[in-house]
């Protein structure tokens, strides 16, 4: 019984430390993202994937959408869309037989 009671304060301390670490990470990587080039690169990736390579704003840098780097995010976005459609179809009343 003694070891269970002693473990509880240690677990609380560990939980508190992990929550503080999470808060520090969120503060550093999410609330202060713009000075970081990582976030700028990710925003550009999302833009290219969502708007496609023929968007007029990409005319000044035609090499950007031609990069193979954008093929993986495009494939992931397509796969997620297929999975969502499959879930919608399998959850519809017609598919269930109602």
Q: pLDDT digit of tens for each residue in the chain (98 aa)?
A: 455 566 688 899 999 999 999 999 888 777 765 566 777 778 888 888 888 878 898 888 878 777 777 888 888 888 999 998 888 888 766 655 55
- Could you tell me the pTM of the whole model? 0.44
Of 53, 52, 28, 24, give the one whose Cα is nearest residue 39. 28
Long-range contacts (CB closer than 8 Å, 24 or more residues apart) made by 12-16: none
Q: Report the residue count for the chain.
A: 98
Domain boundaries, the chain: 1-32, 34-98
């Amino acid at each position: 019984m003694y070891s269970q009671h002693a473990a509880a304060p240690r677990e609380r301390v560990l939980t508190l430390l992990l929550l503080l670490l999470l808060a520090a990470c969120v503060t550093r990587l999410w609330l202060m993202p713009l000075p970081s080039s990582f976030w700028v690169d990710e925003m550009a990736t999302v833009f290219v994937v969502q708007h496609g390579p023929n968007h007029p704003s990409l005319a000044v840098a035609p090499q950007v959408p031609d990069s193979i780097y954008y093929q993986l995010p495009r494939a992931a976005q397509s796969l997620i869309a297929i999975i969502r459609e499959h879930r919608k179809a399998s959850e519809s009343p017609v598919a269930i037989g109602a």
